[in-house]
Amino acid sequence: MTINTKTRLTLCTATLALLGTSVAAQELNLYTSREPGLVEPLLEAFTKETGVKVNTVFLKDGLAERVASEGEASPADLLMAVDAGNLADLVDKGLTQPVESEVLTAAVPENLRDPGKQWFALSMRARVVYAAKDLELDSITYEQLADPAWKGKLCIRSGQHPYNTGLFSAFLSHHGAEQTETWLEGVKANLARKAGGGDRDGAKDILGGICDIAVANSYYVGLMRSGKGGDEQRAWGDAIKVILPTFEDGGTHVNISGAAVAKYAPNKEEAVKLLEFLVSDEAQKIYGEANFEYPVKPGVALDPIVASFGELKVDPTPLTEIVANRAEASALVDKVGFDN
């Protein structure tokens, strides 16, 4: 059969149109509040493996507000944030959509994902206790932080900081409002200084003899001991040992980084593909190397510094339940004058 010139042109035009559609679909738009240095190694690995280009918008603050203001015209495909509360806010504002994925449900434990499949955890950081190296202390519960034996020996950042709001919300889940209020009063009574500063300041103040123990996030230890924060911070990290506290009836409290597919994602298929890649063994290992975080997928090797802390037994309380207590926890912090 002979194909005339007109037919050839028609076929070529159709082919180019199909190719154009295919090429356009081989990209996605990521909005994230995570630091570029933590995200870029993951995205580079994803693009190398899949050929899908990722256009990234880095937002220090206001992720939900940005997406909400763009409405149905938003180009955002995947929304990545730190803190379970920020992910819950995206859901509450109607900015996400559910994802059906056997890969995600198999890799991410049930208590670390939204029951409606709106968001999934990608990495964890534990709320731990830093202790002076020469202190005879090998284990502690969160409840024991209020023990009068620690009077004048405890350092912690603001009670209204999201890291502590998350811990206090978890305490509420375990013990209720009355016991949580009493506990907060006890913790405040044990402070060596006014609640404030950052988590690394806890290690610094232990080295300086201001306090014996401090409540802080696990990944800062890696940042200090690795030298990424400079020689001064390396000295802070070397001055402490890390204890993984637990609740008396549970495990160690963790918070997360995670992601959700945007409600109006123009490239949903690619967004899900990236989300699934982020829970792969390769990506989970990168998370640990880039920021000394815990992988959410069981069985993935830890960074040696993180592994030195001992076995992490994650508290089984669903993060969605903990997040629901945030307002009450914040109110209790003010009620006891924790930051005063």
Domain 5-124+254-302, what architecture? Answer: 3-Layer(aba) Sandwich (3.40)
Round to whole Å and give the CA distance between 157 and 208: 16
pTM, two decimals, is 0.89
Nearest to 256 by CA among 136, 66, 102, 113: 113
Say whether 268 sits in a helix, a strand or coil. Answer: helix
Q: Is the pLDDT of residue 300 over 90?
A: yes
pLDDT at 93 over 50: yes
**In the CATH scheme, what architecture does the domain 125-253+313-335 have?**
3-Layer(aba) Sandwich (3.40)
Domain ranges of the chain: 5-124+254-302, 125-253+313-335
CA distance 180 to 170: 10
247: which 2 tokens?
Answer: 């609740």
What are the C-alpha distances in Å from 291 to residues 79, 217, 285, 288? 19, 12, 10, 6
Q: Are 87 and 214 in contact (CB under 8 A)?
A: no
Q: How far is CA 182 from the centre of its chain?
A: 28
pLDDT tens digit sequence for 201-248: 999 999 999 999 999 999 999 999 999 889 999 999 999 999 999 999
Q: Which residues pair with 240 in a beta bridge?
A: 132
Q: Three-state DSSP class for 108?
A: coil
- How does the average pLDDT of the chain come out, rounded? 92
Per-residue pLDDT tens digits for 95-124: 999 999 999 999 999 999 999 999 999 999
Residue 291 CA to residue 305 CA, distance in Å, equals 11
CA-to-CA distance for 192 and 214, rounded, in angstroms?
Answer: 10
Q: Is 113 helix (H, G, I), strand (E, B) or coil?
A: strand
Select from 188, 215, 213 the least CA-distant residue to 199: 215
Question: Same topology for domains 5-124+254-302 and 125-253+313-335, yes or no?
Answer: yes
Residues 152-169, mean pLDDT to the nearest whole number: 97
The 10 Å Cβ neighbour count of residue 318 is: 18
Q: Helix or strand or coil: residue 141?
A: strand
Within the chain, strands assigned E span 27-32, 53-58, 78-82, 96-97, 120-132, 154-155, 213-217, 240-243, 254-262, 294-295
pLDDT of residue 289: 86
Distance CA 127, CA 25 (A): 40
Provide the pLDDT for residue 19. 37
Burial 70-79 (b: 16+ CB within 10 A, else e): eeeebbbbbb
Tell me the CA distances in angstroms from 118 to 44, 67, 113, 245, 331, one per residue in order: 25, 16, 8, 30, 28
> For the segment 166-204, what is each residue's pLDDT rounded down to a tens digit?
999 999 999 999 999 999 999 999 999 999 999 999 999
